[in-house]
Amino acid sequence: MITAALAGNPNSGKTTLFNALTGANQRVGNWPGVTVDKKEGWVKKDRSLRIIDLPGIYSLSPYTLEEVISRDFLLDEKPDVVINLVDASNIERNLYLTTQILDMGIPTVIALNMMDVVRKAGDRIDTKKLSQSLGCPVVEISALKGEGLEDLLREAAAAAGQKKAPFERRFSAPVEQALEKIGALIAGAVPEERRRWYSIKFFEQDAKAAEKTGLAPEALGAIDKIIKEGEKALDDASASIITGESYDYITGITSACIKKSRKGLSASDKIDRVVTNKWLALPIFAAVMIFVYYISVTTIGAIVTDFTNDTLFGSWIMEPLAGWFEEIGTAGWLASLIVDGIIGGVGAVLGFVPQMLVLFLMLSLLEDVGYMARVAFIMDRIFRRFGLSGKTFIPLLISSGCGVPGVMASRTIESERDRRLTVMTTCFVPCGAKTPIVAMIAGAVFGGVWWVAPSAYFVGLGAVIISGLILKKTRPFAGKAAPFVMELPSYHVPAMGNVLRSMGERGWSFIKRAGTIILMASIVVWFFSSFGFVPAEDGGGTSFAMVEEMDESMLAVAGTKVAVIFRPLGFGFWQATVASIMGLVAKEEVVGVFGVLFGVEGDALGLVEDGDFGALSPIAAPFTMLTAYSFLVFNLLCAPCFAAMGAIRREMNSGKWTAFAISYMCVLAYAAALMFYQFGILIAGAGFSLGSVVAIAVLALIIWLLVKPAWTEKKAAAPLAAEAAR
């Protein structure tokens, strides 16, 4: 069996090639960094060839997690051959990684991808000459069209037999002298075929590579001296010397092998001139987003969602099923479990799937075209002020549809600090399922005034901004947002296969969750809301049985007990508490539960959708405007639904962080609603009370958290300052 490692720059088409070779269905995005872990598969036609898809990297120096994974694999697992995918349309930068791979002495085959783009631009690449200069086979391929793959596999299989790829590149005389001296010092400590590579790494002062060799301190001291001499001779840092000379070497090769016809800007650059223009960027972005939302939420999405909710689940599944159960005489509790508990709960979530699929389709399209990467850039200057990165914007945007894919979208953020911050804040944005709550409060309590709905978005965005500002000063998030560096892919016509696959994957993981965690939660909540201790029919004592009305259920009893903690927020009655708890299943459940608990005629959610607020007036009865808005604020910001919590757990990949994120949301929600209500009644003339004191204290605390100096590690501060002064 032959093991081939697939290595290449981010966004060079590696995943596409991997899929073409193995027939796998990995996700492909026109967004650098789609592959985070290494994946493996067998070649479709030749099962003796195993392919490992390494993450996209720019170099083999261990600065990023991806680079570490790739380098360790190449060093420790010793693949028989490396297939180095090179994007011909920016060959110089791609060959930089190639030189580093060749330095390692592993047999390598270069797969020259995107030659069609090069030819279209009128450029010519002499692959024979390139192959001679680099001393390894070069095969022209098109990963997208599946061209040249057989040649590539044949060359890879042939190269796999070789012991050492004949690669000899020479650095300048001072560097070569230094490398020779280092080579002599480390001989014996490293495998002979890796001596040259380790010499270079030692010269670059690559601590991770040095660690691996376990060299004696005396030898390290001697190497240090050699490096100092080299740096002095060439007046630069050793690592920069190597990089600079590598690029000089590459430029030497490419100028001999490549004929460029174009002098001006490429089509992609011309588009960027307009789309990322200082003045036009934001208006164009706003227009694109309005269009996307208009299509996916207002028109097509709404039609399909209404059909799924009302017709498919309502009249085609639930009603006939309920009737059929009655006919065959199923036990009442079982019918209730299946119809109200399972189908009702899961259906409510699945009802959003069509709308989300349309939204995902549009977003996948924008991503595949290459626009999403630009959006991150455009938004970065705004988000940086709040301690967030421009890459946070995409998750926030998607969360306005649904928090689950929103949380998932945070995966493309490389910096762990920025990613965690994004996961923690993204659910504050009102999602599609929270809009019925907003609509109910606005319609039933506020008489349909226009400002309630937009204000909900401001509450959400405000929570994101305040959280960014507060959290970035705390210990786990201290320090600046990672500097924004991102390669922007070329614009290209979207490949429908990629778009549909990306849409399908996002949609499917949502549906899968509806089938597992939401199913479980629905059953549990159904149980607690349908059973309770009721007075026994014979008169004496109570018995545990199914309840007629929800207000006799265990949930109501528990809700009444818990309700007291919401008294300072103004909505300390059990119905509001139960509704909030039920909101954990799916946020639109809040409306449904109110409907049931207040005995609204008909389906409350349906009434909200139809704008029939008159029928909802029983809901408005226990609320004042203040308490209703306080309730709204709490429900907008508190823990998201189970599905989103599951997503947070997955992206945080840590129980502790998940718990922290969810507790943070709940605490912030409580604090915000408390302040709103307490200051509200104070202004309304209720008089100063203990509640007002607490609210003032909370406000003071938040202001202090906002303005306090950021957390810094005293010990770390000194060397960092020295570094900055350099």
Partner 1 sequence: MPLTMAQIGEVNTIKSIGGKTDTKNFLEHLGFHVHGTVQVISSQAGNVIVNIKDSRVAINKDLANKIMI
- Interacting residue ranges for partner 1, rule: CB under 8 A: 58-59, 61, 63, 89-93, 96, 236-237, 239-240, 243-244, 247-248, 265, 268-269, 272-273, 276-278, 281, 373-374, 376-378, 380-381, 384, 480, 483-490, 723-724
Shortest Cβ 371–partner 1 spacing (Å): 13
Whole-angstrom CA distances from 117 to 7, 143, 411 are 21, 12, 30
Between residues 92 and 192, which has the closer beta carbon with respect to partner 1?
Answer: 92
H/E stretch holding 108 reads strand 108-113
Beta strands in 244-385 (DSSP E): 258-259
Question: Closest distance between partner 1 and the C-beta of residue 485, in Å?
Answer: 5
All residues at 6 or more sequence positions from 41 whose CB lies less than 8 Å from its CB, including other chains: 18, 21, 22, 23, 24, 50, 51, 53
In the complex, minimum distance from the CB of residue 97 to partner 1, in angstroms, rounded to a whole number: 8
> In terms of DSSP H, where are the helices of 329-370?
332-336, 344-350, 353-369
CB of 380 to partner 1, least distance (A): 6
Which residue's CB is nearer to partner 1, number 249 or number 531? Answer: 249
Sorted by sequence, the CB contacts under 8 Å of residue 419 that are 6+ apart come out as 410, 411, 413, 651
Q: Select 489 or 640, whichever has its Cβ closest to partner 1.
A: 489
How far is the C-alpha of 690 from the C-alpha of 288, rounded, in Å?
Answer: 49
Give min distance, CB of 385 to partner 1, in A: 11
Residue that the structure tokens 């988000």 belong to: 383
The distance of closest approach from Cβ of residue 57 to partner 1 in the complex, given in angstroms and rounded to an integer, is 9
Least Å distance, CB 619 to partner 1, is 47
Question: Which is nearer to partner 1, 244 or 622 (by Cβ)?
Answer: 244
Rounded Cα distance between 113 and 133, Å, is 18
CA-based Rg of the chain, rounded to a whole angstrom?
A: 31
Nearest CB to partner 1, comparing residues 489 and 559? 489
- Nearest-approach distance from CB 395 to partner 1, in angstroms: 18
- Report the 10 Å Cβ neighbour count for 549: 12
Looking at the Cβ atoms of 235 and 327, the one nearer to partner 1 is 235
Which residues, 6 or more positions from 396, have their beta carbon under 8 angstroms from its beta carbon? 406, 422, 425, 426, 429, 464
Which C-beta is closer to partner 1: that of 260 or that of 561?
260
DSSP 384-416: GGGT--GGGHHHHHHHTT-HHHHHHHGGG---H
Rounded to a whole number of angstroms, the minimum distance from the CB of residue 487 to partner 1 is 5
Report the residue number, 89 or 502, with the smaller CB distance to partner 1.
89
- Residues 243-260 as b/e (b if ≥16 CB within 10 A, e otherwise) read bebbeebbeebbeebbee
Phi first, then psi: give them for residue 191, nearest 5 degrees.
-60, 140
Distance CA 319, CA 313 (A): 8
Nearer to partner 1 (CB atom), residue 103 or residue 552:
103
